[in-house]
Structure 1
């Protein structure tokens, strides 16, 4: 096997928040990870659906972004978006 070529291999301190809430139609189980990476954005993992996205306020304002990133219909995406606006 040839020598592995790393683009980067860093260890950073993170702050992780695990939160679960019930929307009108869907339960959300999230891990929200903050670090000094991603230009101040947060890594949001939906544990139920195995989907994740790097999210900042600009992404929340982008039409269709949450729907696409988490494979949600418009109503469920709006509930998630409302929650994320509170913490981003």
Structure 2
């Protein structure tokens, strides 16, 4: 590994929430990793597809981002996810990760 510049190698005990729910159209299974890394944004993982993204409440204002991150074509399904995540994601102030 002489040719790699290590950027970070952190160990952290984190809180993880696993949640499954269904709407009229779709079933969802997510893992939400609450961490101090990534400027305090939780890492959200779709357990069915393996797709993941960092999300905070401000990201929920951009429905197209939600659709793109989880590859959802149906607007109503994306709105359902925004509604769920608006309750599941904590309000976090911007944190400087690199101090």
TM-score in same-fold range (> 0.5): yes
Aligned position for 2:49? 49
Q: What residue is the counterpart of 2:79 in the other structure? A: 78
Q: 1:4 to 1:27 in 2, by over 3 A?
A: farther
Structure 1 unaligned regions, length at least 5: none
Give every structure 1 segment of 4 or more consecutive aligned residues whose post-TM-superposition deviation is greater than 2 Å.
2-5
CA deviation after TM superposition for structure 1 residue 12, in Å: 1.0
Larger strand share, 1 or 2: 1
Superposition pairs of residues 1-88 of structure 1, within 5 angstroms? 2-3=1-2, 5=4, 6-72=6-72, 73-88=74-89
Instruction: Give the structure-2-normalised TM-score.
Output: 0.81
Partner-residue secondary structure (3-state), 1:50: coil
**Which blocks of at least 5 consecutive residues in structure 2 are unaligned?**
90-99
CA distance in 2, matches of 1:69, 1:3: 34
Q: In structure 2, how many angstroms separate the alpha carbons of the residues matched to 1:75 and 1:33?
A: 25
